[in-house]
Amino acid sequence: MVNIRPFREEDNDSLLNIEKLCPQGNEECAMIIDKGPDITARYEIYDNWEIRVAEKNATAVGWIGWTIKKGTDEPYLYIAEVMVHPDHKNQGLEVELVREAEKAASEAKASYIYCYAYEPNEEFMDLFEKLGYMRKKSIQAISISAYKKENMESGYEIERINAEDIHDTIKLINSYYHGNAQFCPFTIESFKDYTERIFGYGLENFITAKWKGHIVACAGFWDASVLMEVTYTKEPMMWKVMANAYGILRHFTRVPDIPTEGEVCKMHSIVDFAFEQEHSPAMEEIIDYCNNLMFETNCKFFGAYTDPDDPVLGVLKKFKPMHENLYLYAKPISGKIPDFSRIYVDCRDTIL
């Protein structure tokens, strides 16, 4: 008999242990996300959240977590994760857990539900497709190796955000993402609250680029490793080929690092980036600045999650990034699924 109930503090270690047994991926590429020591920390960055635990014989065997977000017109629900112990898979628990989220969405009169799936995680995608969810969008997951220090000589003034610049920075962000699905324009207060609530982010980690005193580019540099660490349990064959090739070249020059199987990756992310199109070099300069921070602290990898049509991808090409995909799945509840032709990627959702 399965009992589905609200999360209790004493569930923490059991759920973290289950997560370590559930790689996201397939036989060709898979990763484990470690959200320890507190599994609720990734939820506390949201305004509201819920975890429901499935138990058998008083033992936790799986869970689902979600948050309900306020849209410009109607609320919508994001499923952050669904995990079931390998010994209890294919017994209908995953379906029961997803139904709990759908019930919550219905009660909240949420317009729709969505979730993200890591491209190699075929089992996860199969589950949601069988439950009527539709693949609506591909998101680019970019990883950059900070293997060398970049030169910064373009003439832009790069600095941490000042209090007097917040208004103009928000104006730039709101203009950049105007019309994108899931973007609600920031106010000064909402932006402060949003950045300060995310562990490892905060205004102290927000960077601006100025040209003749005018803000023309900006981005947050979020230390996401305070909420998760990534370990690849299966490394793509292409990465292995690249690593072998770089291994030879490394004797003669600096080359990018490639994540290896079993290596713990502590990721930083470039988030809430925005720039005036004629000042793309300013965005490049901000990424140079972030790269050099990583290089000087001996941290290997940083990256970004973005709409595949975002002009920032043109800027990122210089850094020879690695590309992976996430898929956005959605299902209507009390309204319609929005137009996802362009989307603002909420950095909080990238803690998979």
Cα–Cα separations (whole angstroms), residue 298 to 149, 244, 292 = 11, 22, 10
Total Cβ atoms within 10 A of residue 123: 15
Domain definitions of the chain by residue range = 2-132, 143-228+267-325
pLDDT for 292 equals 96
Rounded Cα gap, residues 67 and 77, in angstroms? 6
pLDDT for 252 equals 74
pLDDT for 251 equals 67
CB neighbour class for 296 (10 Å; exposed up to 12, middle 13-18, buried from 19): exposed
CATH topology (fold) of 143-228+267-325: Aminopeptidase (3.40.630)
Q: Give 346's Cβ-side CA count (13 Å radius).
A: 25
Residue 149 gets which letter from DSSP?
P
pLDDT for 352 equals 82
Supply 203's token pair: 């205004």
pLDDT for 238 equals 83
Rounded Cα gap, residues 99 and 79, in angstroms? 11
Domains 2-132 and 143-228+267-325 share a fold: yes
- Class of the 2-132 domain? alpha beta
Rounded Cα gap, residues 10 and 53, in angstroms? 11
What is the residue-level pLDDT of the chain in tens, covering all 352 positions? 899 999 999 999 999 999 999 999 999 999 999 999 999 999 999 999 999 999 999 999 999 999 999 988 899 999 999 999 999 998 999 999 999 999 999 999 999 999 999 999 999 999 999 999 999 999 999 999 999 999 887 789 999 999 999 999 999 999 999 999 999 999 999 999 999 999 999 999 999 999 999 999 999 999 999 999 999 999 888 877 777 777 777 767 777 788 889 999 888 999 999 999 999 999 999 999 999 999 999 889 999 999 999 999 999 999 999 999 999 999 999 999 999 999 999 999 999 8
Sign for the CA dihedral angle at 105, 224, 257, 285 comes to positive
Q: Give 73's Cβ-side CA count (13 Å radius).
A: 8
Rounded Cα gap, residues 126 and 261, in angstroms? 26
pLDDT for 246 equals 73
Rounded Cα gap, residues 217 and 183, in angstroms? 18
